[in-house]
């Protein structure tokens, strides 16, 4: 069914930083007005009892080890009952002793060889990456940063956060692991981690795609999204050639038309199983060039939310052939409905799962997990 996407008043087609959607705009902390860039993330933590209401939040304050232990423990539901700890500087009388001890027992945060916890020590971005990676089930990543070498203690953790789009680093290719972490920034990272754990795909930027300028391509994208394909494109330029070949292999060429796939080949989500439609070459190639220009400065791993701007309803003569039905993965000897003896029933990410089940698994399979079911269609890690 065709659909009118919301018309936006803005005339400029820009890429903007994405705020987390808010449910109610009201100021709670004196230093967190509703216009604050991280207002929604901080309010999300407040609404989910990760932080408490107070007169101020201290957005620029450098967060301490005690504060991080408490926030992360609350985020993952650990026991906060005050009790004796293994640390000489965290007595049972400390109201946060239970959260600190629980975080230690869960392997999220460690103490020091002298039996101290150093609750007031400042936390760096590198520390933050390690704490969050230990607390949440994140995917293994391959994105690296020039200031986080392989020998760095946070090397694997930083890659995991990047893979989950929790922290993507800076434009110069650095992560700055030694920089201290503010309360505002830990709020952002923790909110993204919680949402990822709950199967909510995080994204970094929004791309407003002009329907009136490229009507056929816009209609195809809109049609595909309405039919269940993701509206997120995680940039993966290195895999584009392979993805394109896999996506269009079943559709013959047609004079004057391109075989346009969604998600695009440059997206990690693209490849086999993408929705493909015939789109006039002039429209499709113009759209491709426009998208490429808009995203050229964004590195691999950037998650882009595509939003169609304009009306795609009144274009009967230009609407492309509808996307092909989404292929349903079929069980094979080494695949979905069959449980492989000795195979794990829990996988950290789709890469690990596909080593055993190349096309993913259905929701009735013991290895199925909703967090791996990106489009919520009953299949996890499908291709």
The ranges assigned to domains in the chain are: 19-197, 205-309, 329-383
Upstream peptide bond of 3 is cis (omega within 30 degrees of 0): no
Q: Return the pLDDT at 179.
A: 94
Q: How confident is the model at residue 228 (pLDDT cuts 50, 70, 90)?
A: low
Which tens digit of pLDDT belongs to each residue from 69-113?
A: 999 999 999 999 999 999 999 999 999 999 999 999 999 999 999
How far apart, in whole angstroms, are the C-alpha atoms of residue 206 and residue 63?
Answer: 29
What's the rounded Cα separation, in Å, for the pair 360 and 383? 7
Higher pLDDT: 43 or 171? It is: 43
Rounded to whole angstroms, how far apart are CA atoms 141 and 71? 24
- pLDDT confidence of 172, banded at 50, 70, 90? confident
Q: Greater confidence, 122 or 374? A: 122
Residue 338 binned pLDDT confidence (cut-offs 50, 70, 90): low
pLDDT at 267 over 80: yes
pLDDT of 295 above 60: yes
What pLDDT was estimated at residue 169?
A: 81
* The pLDDT of residue 348: 73
Can you spell out the DSSP letters for 263-298?
S-TTBTT-STT-EEEEEEHHHHHHHHHHHHHHHTTS
Beta bridge partners of 258: 279
Entry pTM: 0.54
pLDDT for residue 197 is more than 60: yes
Q: What is the mean pLDDT of the chain?
A: 81
């Amino acid at each position: 069914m065709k659909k009118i996407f919301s018309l936006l008043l803005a005339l400029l087609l820009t890429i903007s930083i994405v705020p987390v959607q808010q449910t109610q705009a009201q100021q709670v902390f004196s230093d967190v007005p509703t216009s604050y860039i991280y207002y929604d993330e901080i309010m999300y933590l407040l609404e989910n009892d990760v932080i408490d209401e107070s007169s101020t939040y201290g957005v620029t304050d450098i967060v301490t080890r005690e504060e991080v232990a408490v926030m992360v423990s609350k985020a993952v539901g650990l026991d906060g009952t005050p009790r004796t700890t293994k640390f000489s500087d965290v007595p049972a009388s400390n109201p946060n002793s239970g959260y600190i001890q629980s975080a230690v027992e869960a392997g999220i945060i460690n103490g020091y060889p002298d039996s101290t916890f150093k609750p007031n020590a400042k936390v760096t971005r590198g520390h933050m990456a390690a704490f969050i990676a230990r607390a949440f089930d994140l995917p293994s990543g391959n994105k690296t940063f020039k200031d986080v070498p392989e020998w760095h203690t946070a090397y694997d953790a930083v890659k995991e956060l990047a893979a989950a789009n929790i922290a993507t680093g800076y434009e110069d290719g650095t992560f700055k692991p030694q920089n201290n972490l503010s309360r505002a920034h830990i709020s952002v990272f923790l909110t993204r981690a919680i949402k990822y754990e709950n199967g909510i795909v995080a994204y970094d930027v929004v791309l407003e795609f002009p329907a009136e300028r490229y009507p056929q391509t816009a209609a195809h994208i809109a049609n595909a999204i309405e039919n269940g394909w993701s509206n997120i494109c995680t940039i993966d330029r290195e895999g584009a050639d392979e993805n394109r070949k896999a996506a269009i292999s079943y559709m013959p060429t047609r004079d004057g038309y391109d075989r346009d796939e969604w998600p695009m080949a440059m997206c990690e989500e693209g490849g086999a199983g993408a929705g493909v439609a015939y789109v006039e070459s002039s429209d499709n190639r113009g759209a491709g060039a426009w998208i490429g220009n808009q995203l050229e400065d964004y590195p691999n791993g950037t998650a882009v939310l595509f939003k169609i701007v304009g009306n795609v309803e009144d274009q009967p003569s230009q609407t492309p052939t509808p996307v092909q039905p989404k292929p349903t993965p079929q069980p094979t000897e080494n695949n979905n409905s069959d449980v492989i003896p000795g195979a794990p029933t829990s996988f950290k990410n789709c890469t690990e799962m596909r080593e055993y089940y190349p096309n993913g698994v259905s929701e009735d399979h013991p290895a199925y997990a909703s967090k791996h079911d990106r489009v919520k269609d009953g299949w996890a890690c499908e291709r």
